[in-house]
């Protein structure tokens, strides 16, 4: 079985599990396009060592870049930028490597 994302105007509306034959023969009355996605792909790497598919697994409410042919999540914070190689959002500051837990905060402390 494969996973397919329903995409309309660059937004992921739904994700389903289906065979390719079902998608090919499905009479869909809802606008949009079904695009295959893989839950084994994250950050443009296949988690099992295979070939990555569209950089990331599609998520409902996420985005699809038709020109680049990849899925990416909604921007988590205004200051973060999209890495177009991985399809992942990156913060303007690197996460410290001290094994502590951190929470990103866009608001300055007063």
Q: Outline where the chain has alpha helix (H).
A: 20-25
How many Cβ atoms sit within 10 Å of the Cβ of residue 14? 14
Are the C-beta atoms of residues 104 and 77 closer than 8 Å to each other? yes
Using pLDDT thresholds of 50, 70 and 90, give the confidence band for residue 26.
Answer: very high
CA pair distance 50, 35, nearest whole angstrom: 19
* pLDDT tens, residue by residue, 33-86: 999 999 999 999 999 999 999 999 999 999 999 999 999 999 999 999 999 999
pLDDT at 12 over 90: yes
Pairing type for strands 45-46 and 41-42 reads antiparallel
Q: Check residue 88 and give its pLDDT.
A: 98
* Contact call for residues 70 and 56 (beta carbons, < 8 A): yes
Identify the pLDDT of residue 110. Answer: 59
């Amino acid at each position: 079985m494969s996973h397919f994302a329903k995409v309309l105007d660059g937004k992921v509306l739904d994700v389903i599990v289906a065979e390719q034959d079902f998608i090919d023969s499905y009479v869909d009355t809802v606008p949009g396009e079904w695009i295959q996605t893989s839950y084994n792909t994250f950050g443009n790497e296949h988690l099992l060592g295979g070939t990555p598919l569209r950089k990331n697994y599609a998520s409902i409410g996420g985005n699809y870049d038709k020109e680049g042919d990849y899925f990416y999540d909604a921007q988590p914070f205004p200051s973060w930028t999209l890495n177009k190689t991985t399809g992942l959002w990156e913060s303007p500051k690197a996460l410290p490597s001290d094994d502590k837990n951190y929470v990103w905060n866009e608001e300055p402390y007063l």
